[in-house]
Amino acid sequence: MKPVRVGLLGLGTVGGGTLNVIVRNATEIARRAGREIVVTHAAAREFRAETIEGLDRVVLSEDAFTVVDNPDIDVVVELIGGYSPARELVLRAIENGKHVVTANKALIAMHGNEIFAAAQAKGVTVAFEAAVAGGIPIIKAVREGLAANHIEWIAGIINGTGNFILTEMRDKGRDFAEVLSEAQALGYAEADPTFDVEGIDAAHKLTILASLAFGIPLQFDRCYTEGIGRIQPQDVTYAEAFGYRIKHLGITRRTPSGVELRVHPTLIPERRLIANVDGVMNAVLVYGDAVGPTLYYGAGAGSLPTASAVVADIIDVTRTLTTDPENRVPHLAFQPGELSDLAVLPMDEVVTAYYLRMTVHDRPGVLAAVAGILSEHGISIEAMRQKEPAAGENQVPLVMLTQSVRESQMNAALGGIEALDAVAGEVTRIRVELLK
């Protein structure tokens, strides 16, 4: 059988890794796919040729549209990233009847509904395993491995850069900016690293996971997003004193009134396996009604781990070339006509427990005033710590854990607490999840 011909768009961290894996494991890949897989063309403006194997056998171009329009190419692999021109390139590839593999989570989260509709109409596949959690085959697990389940919730550490920063800060006391620079040098961070630290990259990935888990259209614009920039070393220390770790989690949960879709720093019990996922590693915890909790762990970013997912998709696409389009696994796990209109809940309606830290004047009645406001809003205190003031200081940190409460009630209570004379500045609040 003739080899499958691949056109690569982008030869950066992931594109270079993809070519390396295809060349390095060519024989074994062909044994799995049933045909040889060969990268015949690639488009890139800048690349480090000395790090990429097999470039001498690839026709190179600076114009990605020439690859997409080339009639000799069977599968287009989009590894440029970003919204545009990735969207135009992918839509043109589909229009030209080519299958597409992409690692582009921003593209799928933002334009996936349009892209999958176009692919469906044309009878081609758009595969995106590498878009979520790097090398972990989480798309396949949720879409196929757990297909028997009513999935109830997913919680994941799905940004390697953010987890790397939090781990280095906690374990080595390193400075945020310095660790971020290292993550950039290692090829973990996005072209715009604010996507990593503000949680936007994780929100892209969570949007995709929620769609696959609950059979809802992709709704990135409804995802609540909060970054890691405001976490202080003292919050890490207090969390540990209460038996928790702080992780930047993406959480999506099915509730009777809608789907929660949120990315934010979260206290989780330190005894949970996922609380011990450090560095660039990612982990995704999925709760299905039949299987219970399952946990998927691996490298969430980096050249070869991400290439592992890209190449697995190319193999998958190769295997389905002879399958009728209607007999392929649906892009978003559910048949396209069977997506549900379950609403995404506004953040105000989400119910969670909280960690609160505030700076208060050390005088009688302050604790009672704070507790009184929480109680007026129906919020129970679960645990509390107050330090002795340092010599010459009359302000002290007051730290507490609350029981679960609706976000809108907590917002109202915090407004009242911050208005107290005895409370200095803003209250730091971090949501708490038990993940069970």
Contact residue for ligand HSE among 109, 189, 263, 309 (CB under 6 A): 189
Site string for ligand HSE, 135-174 (x = CB under 6 A): ------------------------xxx-------------
Omega before 364 cis (within 30°)? no
- The nearer residue to ligand HSE, 135 or 288, going by C-beta atoms, is 135
Q: Could you say which residues in the range 272-311 bind ligand HSE, by CB under 6 A?
A: 300-301
Reply yes or no on whether 205 is catalytic: yes
- The nearer residue to ligand HSE, 223 or 347, going by C-beta atoms, is 223
Q: Which residues contact 333 (CB under 8 A, 6 or more apart)?
A: 142, 143, 147, 211, 212, 213, 215
- Give yes or no for residue 190 binding ligand HSE (CB under 6 A): yes
Contact residue for ligand HSE among 74, 78, 129, 196 (CB under 6 A): 196
- Give yes or no for residue 134 binding ligand HSE (CB under 6 A): yes
Q: Choosing from 205, 247, 387, 436, which is the catalytic residue?
A: 205
- The nearer residue to ligand HSE, 188 or 220, going by C-beta atoms, is 188
Q: Please, what is the minimum distance in Å from the beta carbon of residue 13 to ligand HSE?
A: 9
Terminal Cα-to-Cα distance of the chain (whole angstroms): 50
Q: Which residues contact 251 (CB under 8 A, 6 or more apart)?
A: 153, 154, 155, 206, 260, 262, 263, 266, 433
* CA 213 – CA 216 distance, rounded (Å): 8
- Give yes or no for residue 33 binding ligand HSE (CB under 6 A): no
Q: Could you say which residues in the range 200-259 bind ligand HSE, by CB under 6 A?
A: 201
- The nearer residue to ligand HSE, 129 or 190, going by C-beta atoms, is 190
Instruction: Please give the positions annotated as active site.
Output: 205
Query: Which residues here bind ligand HSE, judged by CB under 6 A?
Result: 134, 159-161, 188-190, 196, 201, 300-301
